[in-house]
């Protein structure tokens, strides 16, 4: 067995310690004679796994008591409908900030359920994209909520500040949740697909303030209801138990191996800083994002000579650096350097990039 | 490590060979240097895994070319809304046969979207429950579809025939899919949560006839649309990749280790027959279902002296026979003997039951 460095944008690398524990417990969890996958979700054993996962997550993010933690299914794409269906029952307009492909998808789905007001957009300034500044965000007078995407995975565009508004702030935090400490109190609702910084695909995390559970539209499917999910402790029906178990192992790793989100943020900022520095130091590479909005999770970059893209990817693959192709909609390269991507992976990538530029560039 | 016999109703036992392969490949799938969980769902490697899973399933169930296989999320409980939302766009009435708790839940959700006509119900005859006979099923004149639950997991009540109707037949096959060969051509739509005979919780299988993809209601969430799912080969967004991989291993096991569904059916019928025979042979035990509708997957039974229930469960647990408690809504006992529960488990259970009745009964 030889593990390689995996820069996949998602489903993404998981901590090796987590995979090893899952492997070791695969046929027999803690001497109980069965796999976690084979447990009733209502068994004492599984409920203890789920409770510990939630407690560790609450601890990591310092989630206040008046917020519910929900483990759902369907990814962020399902949240695109769940948000207007859960928050739109009292009428009003859905306000969205559009900073890229995911924000746009969220808007398109919301438009099917509510009038949507575009409260702000990303823009290009001197060829570099940036998110709108706080003063540029204009919510409508009847805003039910304000939605934004804290980190655009494809564009590599991340908010460097927390937009404020007098209506509930809703955030798609799929690709940067748990990368740095977050002040949950500033939000009405946070959601995130698991497959970047949480665990395997198939689990969706929702953190929602209590007072927002009572404004759903009548036509909401029961399984889309945050309130039903909250009232049933995420077990209205069978949850994706193994994905939840693995996410719990990730939370435990973050808390006890890494030492919490401040430490994780230090590591993430160091990884991102050195990778951007390598890009900036070499004319052969470029990144299209304004300095202050460069994502610390997803680092898109282009080669000066795009005809070398395929060679770059093939050589990187040979060097054990996997999944560096940019999203199919934009091309180029992208290194996703989530929590579980070790600093050694970034160091190896930088060395490879410098070498490639020298020999081929 | 010592594996025990697991009679859980779901999430249920998985084939040991599948768990071992998943364990062995956990950190490095086939020398690629990463876990299946860490692969892009659009990578060649994962697409090959997904394609093989679908091909093996099509082969096992002899699924005709005019049926789509969809891998979705949210369990059967999400299907309870998806069925009326996808099939109700042309108006008409949703027809349901109610044979237990799951059928009733399906009806309650459908009523939120369409008028529902009760086309038939289970009944008690001489203290034994049975499903309605074909002649008792009365669909409404404007039926959009006829929905039934082929096996009620909690009641242990299974259809011994395939209801026919001149409208599309929709079946919740969550707890008996793949237990016997099925003539897919008789159905408009079949759905099943994975966590009994398919794989881990978090994946939902849908098999739908092509011509039913164009009658969705306007308000359907994009992620609930069979059509969108079909047009994107179950990858409109990130699917639950690891659950799909494991399900593929189960399909491969069914095909190549077991030898197909005819052989699986023989084993299942033998397991069920000997367990029911043991119940019938001993006055200490009873099963509340008419002979012809006894489930070959879920075998509920009661002790003559219910005050011994807790002792029975504790002793069974000591004997390595896990999860024999009946559903919390009905009490008593239930042995779920899905595909992955080996015949040796049933033999051990029968021996235990006989011994318990002799010494305590």
pLDDT tens string A193-243? 999 999 999 999 999 999 999 999 999 999 999 999 999 999 999 999 999
Instruction: Tell me whether the CATH fold assigned to B18-257 matches the one assigned to B260-360.
Output: no
Q: How far is residue A145 CA from its own chain's centroid?
A: 20
Q: Describe the strand order of the beta sheet including A67-72 as a list of residue ranges.
A: A67-72, A204-209, A189-193, A169-172, A143-149, A93-98, A116-121
> CA Rg, chain A, in Å?
21
A196 included as an active-site residue: yes
Chain A environment of B9 (Cβ under 8 Å): 40
- The residue among A176, A127, A180 whose CA lies nearest residue A287 is A127
Q: Residue B73 and residue A73: Cβ atoms within 8 Å? A: yes
Question: Could you tell me if B35 lies within 8 Å of chain A, comparing CB atoms?
Answer: yes
User: Alpha helix locations (H) across A25-74?
Assistant: 44-61
Out of A29, A56, A68, A102, pick the active-site residue: A102
Residue A271, pLDDT > 70, answer yes
Please state which CATH class domain A17-258 belongs to.
Answer: alpha beta
Question: Could you tell me if B243 lies within 8 Å of chain A, comparing CB atoms?
Answer: yes
**Which chain B residue lies closest to A338 (C-alpha atoms)?**
B38
Average pLDDT over residues B338-344: 98
B102 included as an active-site residue: yes
Report residue B329's pLDDT band, with 50, 70 and 90 as the boundaries: confident
Contact A12, A6 (CB under 8 A): yes
**Smallest CA–CA separation between B39 and chain A, in Å?**
6
pLDDT in tens, B34-43: 999 999 999 9
What residues 320-349 of chain A have any CB closer than 8 A to a CB of chain B?
Answer: 320, 322-323, 328
* Distance of alpha carbon A237 from alpha carbon A232, whole angstroms: 9
Average pLDDT over residues A81-97: 97
pLDDT in tens, A1-57: 589 999 999 999 999 999 999 999 999 999 999 999 999 999 999 999 999 999 999
What is the predicted pLDDT for the residue at A1? 56
User: According to the CATH classification, is domain B18-257 in 3.40.50.1000?
Assistant: no
Q: Residue A3 and residue B34: Cβ atoms within 8 Å? A: yes
CA angle A136, A139, A145 (to 5 degrees): 130
Q: Give the up-direction half-sphere exposure of residue B162: CA atoms within 13 A in the CB hemisphere.
A: 15
Q: What percent of chain A has pLDDT over 90?
A: 97
pLDDT in tens, B27-85: 999 999 999 999 999 999 999 999 999 999 999 999 999 999 999 999 999 999 999 99
**Which chain A residue lies closest to B218 (C-alpha atoms)?**
A112
B59 included as an active-site residue: no
Q: What is the mean pLDDT of chain B?
A: 97
Suggest the residue from A6, A24, A31, A34 to mutate for an interface test with chain B (most B CBs closer than 10 A): A34
Residue B361, pLDDT > 70, answer no
Domains of chain B by residue range: 18-257, 260-360
Q: Residue A221 and residue B222: Cβ atoms within 8 Å? A: no
Contact B151, B157 (CB under 8 A): yes
Q: Give the up-direction half-sphere exposure of residue A90: CA atoms within 13 A in the CB hemisphere.
A: 10
Residue B2, CA distances (Å) to A27, A33, A173 in order: 9, 6, 41
Report residue B210's pLDDT band, with 50, 70 and 90 as the boundaries: very high
What is the predicted pLDDT for the residue at A165? 87
What is the predicted pLDDT for the residue at A169? 98
Average pLDDT over residues A294-311: 97
Topology of the domain covering A260-360: 3.90.1150
Question: Could you tell me if A78 lies within 8 Å of chain B, comparing CB atoms?
Answer: yes
Residue A361, pLDDT > 80, answer no
* Distance of alpha carbon B264 from alpha carbon A96, whole angstroms: 53
ipTM field: 0.97
Question: H-helix or E-strand containing A349?
Answer: helix A343-360
Contact B97, B146 (CB under 8 A): yes
């Amino acid at each position: 067995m030889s593990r390689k460095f995996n820069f996949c944008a998602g489903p993404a690398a998981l901590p090796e310690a987590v995979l090893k524990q899952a492997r070791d417990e695969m046929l027999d969890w803690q001497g109980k004679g069965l796999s976690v996958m084979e447990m009733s979700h209502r068994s004492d054993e599984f409920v203890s796994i789920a409770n510990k996962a939630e407690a560790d997550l609450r601890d990591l993010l310092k989630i206040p008591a008046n917020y519910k933690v929900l483990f759902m299914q369907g990814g962020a794409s399902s949240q695109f409908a769940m948000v207007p269906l859960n928050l739109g029952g009292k009428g009003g307009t859905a306000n969205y900030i559009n900073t890229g492909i995911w924000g746009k998808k969220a808007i398109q789905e919301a438009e099917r359920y509510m009038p949507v007001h575009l409260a702000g957009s990303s823009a290009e300034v001197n060829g570099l994209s940036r998110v709108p500044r706080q003063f540029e965000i204009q919510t409508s007078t009847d805003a039910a909520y304000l939605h934004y995407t804290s980190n655009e995975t494809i564009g590599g565009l991340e908010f460097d500040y927390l937009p404020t508004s007098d209506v509930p702030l809703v955030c798609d935090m799929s690709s940067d949740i748990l990368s740095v400490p977050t002040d949950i109190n500033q939000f009405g609702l946070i959601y995130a697909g698991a497959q970047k910084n949480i665990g395997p695909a198939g689990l969706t995390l929702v953190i929602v303030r209590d007072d927002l559970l009572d404004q759903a539209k009548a036509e909401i499917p029961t399984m889309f209801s945050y309130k039903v999910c909250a009232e049933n402790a995420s077990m209205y029906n069978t949850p994706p138990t193994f994905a939840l178990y693995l996410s719990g192992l990730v939370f435990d790793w973050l808390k006890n191996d890494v030492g919490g989100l401040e430490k994780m943020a230090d590591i993430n900022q160091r990884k991102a800083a050195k990778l951007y520095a390598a890009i900036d130091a070499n004319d052969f590479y470029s990144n299209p994002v304004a300095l202050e909005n460069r994502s610390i999770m997803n680092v898109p970059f282009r080669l000066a000579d795009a005809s070398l893209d395929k060679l770059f990817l093939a050589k990187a693959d040979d060097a054990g650096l996997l999944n560096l192709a940019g999203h199919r909609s934009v091309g180029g390269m992208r290194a996703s350097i989530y929590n579980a991507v070790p600093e050694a992976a970034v160091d190896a990538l930088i060395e490879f990039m410098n070498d490639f530029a020298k020999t081929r560039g």
